[in-house]
Amino acid sequence: MATTSLDNKSLRELYPFVEPYDTGFLKVSDVHTLYYEQSGNPQGKPVVVLHGGPGGGSDAWYRQFFDPKVYRAILFDQRGSGKSTPHACLIDNTTWHLVADIETLRNHLKIDKWHVFGGSWGSTLALSYAEKHPDRVKALILRGIFALRRKELLWFYQDGASCMFPEEWEKYLAPIPSVERGDLMSSYYRKLTGDDEALKLQCAQAWSRWEMATSRLFVDPKALEHADDPQFALAFARIECHYFVNGGFFEEDGQLINRASILKDIPGTIVQGRYDMVCPAFTAWDLHKAWPQSKYVIIPDAGHSMKEPGILSALIEACDLYRDL
């Protein structure tokens, strides 16, 4: 097990910002069209970046984890997210639709195999994809592991993280009547998919704020402002809640951990903040035990966010580690 600390003077920083050399929209169904972009070296090692949420959308700075001389970085917005259309749409929006979309995008870009990079929900989707298509994955670079097991959802959305952030928890509870608080995810889902637009937005912003307020050791005010953005909050909250009340659309609880032996021939790195309140370290440890070929890196002074210095540095190191595959 490796560890990294803020005391380490050799913490890595992001690569310089680059603009994409290619952008486009890919129609993946009668309903959904996905935004995608490519940056870095057009002849470089392809890596697909899977954003969080689900519903979070990609950010331009994600390009900076990859050496632009080495990597061909492919970012895309998953169904209903970011620039993809229709916005916040739940129709035909499941884990397995997204896995199929990754394959559609790979074929569209004429890529044989690629590296897969993802954190939080992005790690869920990366594992789902790799277990479905292991022959298409060169390496996995994962952060803040989320297997979408029932106990993980209950920890964050019902009883667990609430003990650590009681003042923020009260804001999360506020839109939900006391009589409905025995199953908060279900109550939120009814309101996020209901006809009362004002209540829908209130719930979307409260749901989004809860995650933004708990993602770092030191709260990022800009993240809290992001949670108030209606465009972001509606997609983020609606799509997340849709996946969570449906158990991630998996066949069994714990499927990703239970089937991790499929990954035995895939090299990979797991980067996990010790004080991650959103996706606690027990899931990363469970994955590492089920996939012992992986490199397990604990960041002792970090929470959940990939912006935290130790996590950011370890992810860049992992990307550099697999640059020659």
Positions marked active-site: 120, 276, 304
Instruction: Determine the Cα–Cα distance for residues 275 and 301; give it in Å rounded to an integer.
Output: 7
Omega within 30 of 0 (cis) for the link into 54: yes
Instruction: Determine the Cα–Cα distance for residues 306 and 146; give it in Å rounded to an integer.
Output: 14
Instruction: Determine the Cα–Cα distance for residues 216 and 129; give it in Å rounded to an integer.
Output: 27
For 24, phi then psi, to 5°, come to -170, 175
DSSP track, 240-251? HHHHHHTGGG-S
Instruction: Determine the Cα–Cα distance for residues 213 and 128; give it in Å rounded to an integer.
Output: 27
Query: Is 37 exposed, middle or buried (CB count within 10 Å of its CB: 0-12, 13-18, 19+)?
Result: buried
In Å, how far from its chain's centre is CA 154?
Answer: 18
